[in-house]
Amino acid sequence: MGRVIAVAGKGGTGKTTTACLVTRYLAKSPHNPILAVDADPNSNLGETMGIDVTKTVGDIREDFMKDPQGLPQGMDKVNYLEMLMNQVLIERKEFDLLVMGRQEGTGCYCMVNNILNRFSEQLSKSYTYLVVDNEAGMEHLSRRTSGRVDMLLLITDYSLRGLRALKRIHDMLGGLKLDIREKGMIVTRAPAQLNDAFMAEASAIGVPIIGIIPDDPMLLDFDMEKKSLMDLPDESPSVAAVNAMMDKIMPL
């Protein structure tokens, strides 16, 4: 199974941006093939990558449950769901994208979920790296996969309040069924030199700071122009910061 890199952190701190830029780094490295996974029910990783996502894994489940017996001729449930999953997988030259979408409504979805989970596990074996974008906590991730995370990137903005929120998320992770191997903190929209008060509060969390992403006006420009962050120039401050961080943390 590919190595899993996932992001967590308070809303709006830069999780999706970071997931996109980490995917960008890996896609341009010799570490291909890469699978980006959008596990945030309010999916928008595709948008940052300039990809128009029309169908999610959640949509497949909903469609299937409307008529569980309505299988195409000669197909069983497993084949059929696998075929639908393959349709949801978006393939690009440098990376693929899978969008999980919304959680199920009421009713028993266990059988479908089991099949979809097994397929996800199988799929993840085809990639060197999986980059998983999440909602603030990581509840979906912990419910849907084997729960192994090789590198968890804990994202915070440059504020003490942000750090406290991150600490709460960090404390909560222990209660989830996740097997987290390594953790690193990333501070976004921050000056290169973090002040003492911030450093003191950050060190109390006990996760090393592995990256500082400066405020990058190009992110706003690209958003406004509906351009993919995958196409940001290497010189853009956020890309340069993520690339430098990845150079340091990637096993050779």
Ligand X SMILES: Nc1ncnc2c1ncn2[C@@H]1O[C@H](COP(=O)(O)OP(=O)(O)OP(=O)(O)O)[C@@H](O)[C@H]1O
96 binds ligand X (CB under 6 A): no
As given in the structure block, the two tokens for residue 73 are 């001729």
- Among candidate residues 80, 77, 142, 140, the one with its CA nearest the CA of residue 111: 77
124 binds, among Mg ion, ligand X, none (CB under 5 to 8 A by kind): none
Query: What is the per-residue burial (b if ≥16 Cβ within 10 Å, else e) of 155-178?
Result: bbbbbeebbebbbebbeebeeeeb
As given in the structure block, the two tokens for residue 65 are 């449950």
16 binds Mg ion (CB under 5 A): yes
| Smallest distance, Mg ion to C-beta of residue 199, A | 26
Q: Given the rule CB under 6 A, which of 11-19, 141-149, 161-169, 172-180 is the region that contacts ligand X?
A: 11-19
Q: What is the DSSP letter of 42?
A: S
| Smallest distance, Mg ion to C-beta of residue 16, A | 3
Integer angstrom CA distances of residue 244 from 100, 101, 122, 238: 30, 31, 32, 10
Which position among 138, 213, 230, 246 is part of the footprint of ligand X (CB under 6 A)?
A: 213
| Beta pairing, strands 90-91 & 96-99 | antiparallel
- Please give the size of the binding site for Mg ion, defined by CB under 5 A: 2
Which H or E run includes 131?
strand 129-133
Q: What is the dihedral of CA 148, 151, 157, 162, to 10 degrees?
A: 50
156 binds ligand X (CB under 6 A): no
Of 15 and 144, CB closest to Mg ion: 15
Of 187 and 202, CB closest to ligand X: 187
Which position among 56, 145, 188, 236 is part of the footprint of ligand X (CB under 6 A)?
A: 188
56 binds, among ligand X, Mg ion, none (CB under 5 to 8 A by kind): none
12 binds, among Mg ion, ligand X, none (CB under 5 to 8 A by kind): ligand X
215 binds ligand X (CB under 6 A): yes
- Among candidate residues 117, 119, 160, 152, the one with its CA nearest the CA of residue 134: 152
| Smallest distance, Mg ion to C-beta of residue 251, A | 27
| Smallest distance, ligand X to C-beta of residue 154, A | 11
Q: Given the rule CB under 6 A, which of 110-118, 124-132, 176-184, 212-220 is the region that contacts ligand X?
A: 212-220
Binding footprint of Mg ion on the chain (CB under 5 A): 15-16
